[in-house]
Chains A and B, each alone.
Chain A
Amino acid sequence: QKEVEQNSGPLSVPEGAIASLNCTYSDRVSQSFFWYRQYSGKSPELIMSIYSNGDKEDGRFTAQLNKASQYVSLLIRDSQPSDSATYLCAVNEVTGGGNKLTFGTGTQLKVEL
């Protein structure tokens, strides 16, 4: 069973600060990495995808991937109260029947006024 580990939180940051969310994974051959945001009672929505080592920026969000350390992170700059949600890390697993994603249990982020 492949594993994806996240700190469950809650992670509390003041409005305007940088929030840093971390994720480690067990499958060394994983190639695709995703961050989803899930508001309470809603379905997950894609925030970022990253496939190669280094940083990928999209607006206030930056995903960082280090395959050697099996580590992926998400930075949220200028955090807003609307960013308060649970953030799910997902990692692909190659199977004979097509790829599938393994999800972490999520980190709850609270942005305080």
Chain B
Amino acid sequence: DGGITQSPKYLFRKEGQNVTLSCEQNLNHDAMYWYRQDPGQGLRLIYYSQIVNDFQKGDIAEGYSVSREKKESFPLTVTSAQKNPTAFYLCASSIDGLAGEGDTQYFGPGTRLTVL
């Protein structure tokens, strides 16, 4: 089955700890994205990557870091600098991040992070 996987589904973190969320896709997509969703809110872009070894900050990148060493993987690290990290984190991918069909993003199932 082709798709996007995220792990873990639920994650609990103590204050002051860094945690890494996994995102893997086997769709052969070039572009990948990380979003954060808070209750009753839309999706806010954290980071995005159009190609391997390159990524761009989104609207709320502070307190987060990413890497894109492989085409199929785009892990997100939530650092202790992120003041309010409790949220639903969504990973997405698209063919190439260009106009038209290439813009169409498909989402993984998400990771729900709770800071204790």
Contact = CB atoms under 8 A, between A and B. Distances in A.
Interface of A: 1, 4, 31-32, 34, 36, 42-46, 49, 51, 88, 90, 92, 94-95, 97-106
Nearest to B97: A98
A46 B104 contact: yes
A54 B40 CA distance: 31
> Which of A45, A90, A100 is packed against the most chain B CB atoms within 10 Å?
A100
Nearest to A96: B56
A105 B40 CA distance: 8
Given A43-B109, A43-B110, A46-B106, A97 B54 contact: yes
Contacts of A31: 99-100, 103
A101 B41 contact: no
- The 9 A-B pairs of least Cβ separation, nearest first, read A98-B50, A98-B97, A97-B56, A105-B42, A32-B103, A43-B107, A103-B43, A103-B42, A43-B110
B99 A100 contact: no
Contacts of B107: 36, 43-45
A105 B44 CA distance: 10
Interface in B36-70: 40-45, 48-50, 54-56, 58-59
Contacts of B44: 103
Contacts of B48: 97-98, 100
B103 A92 contact: yes
B74 interface: no
Given A31-B103, A99-B99, 9 more contacts: A34-B103, A46-B104, A46-B105, A88-B42, A97-B55, A100-B33, A100-B48, A102-B45, A104-B42
B93 to A, nearest CB: 12
A106 B45 CA distance: 15
Contacts of A95: 56
Given A31-B99, A34-B104, A43-B107, A100 B58 contact: yes
